[in-house]
Amino acid sequence: MEERTAIFMDLTGGPELVSWFGVAPSFHDAEILEICLRRSDPSLIRIHTWQATGVTDKDGRMKLDKHVVVDFMLRGVVDLNLDGFNHQNVINGLQIGKETRNLWGEMTPLVKVSLDGCFGVDGWITACEVEIAMDTQNVPVKNDD
């Protein structure tokens, strides 16, 4: 199993997301719908993403399917660096990494969610725990005809 898939599979809700797409999604051209930072848990990154079919319509646009809204719920945010939030917030991709840091006098496992900005928000959030939830019913747009 590739490292990207293994990291998603290790997160609560990750296996369901991998199952939906058949692979760990890249979030290429996905749109950040919401970022909500809370002092009390959880904070949230909400993203609309999909799968490109490799087929174009009569106007030459790529047909998309498997639309889903993915919520990344972050508990115990320890640091972040975000820049450039605007009205659309398209990202080139999303990366999840694991690391361990000395926090509060002990080595603590952490999860870092990195947003590779394309138009709008760019940056990362590191938290003690990340959980994934997905909604296939309430997506902003469907372009799968």
Provide the residue count of the chain.
Answer: 145
Q: What are phi and psi of 21, to 5 degrees?
A: -95, -20
Residue-level pLDDT at 143 = 52
Per-residue pLDDT of 95-125, as tens digits, reads 999 999 999 899 999 999 999 999 999 999 9
Per-residue pLDDT of 65-93, as tens digits, reads 999 999 999 999 999 999 999 999 999 99
- Report yes or no: 111 and 129 within 8 Å, Cβ to Cβ: yes
Q: Please report, for the chain, the start and end positions of each structural domain, with discontinuous segments joined by +.
A: 3-135
Q: Which tokens is 88 given?
A: 């659309």
Q: Which tokens is 77 given?
A: 């945010």
Residue-level pLDDT at 62 = 85
- Exposure string for 51-67, b = 16+ CB within 10 A, e = fewer: beeeeeeeeeeeebebb
Percent of the chain with pLDDT over 90: 81
Q: Looking at the predicted structure, is the pLDDT value of residue 144 above 60? A: no
Question: In which residue are the tokens 């639309």 written?
Answer: 67
Per-residue pLDDT of 6-50, as tens digits, reads 999 999 999 999 999 999 999 999 999 999 999 988 999 999 999
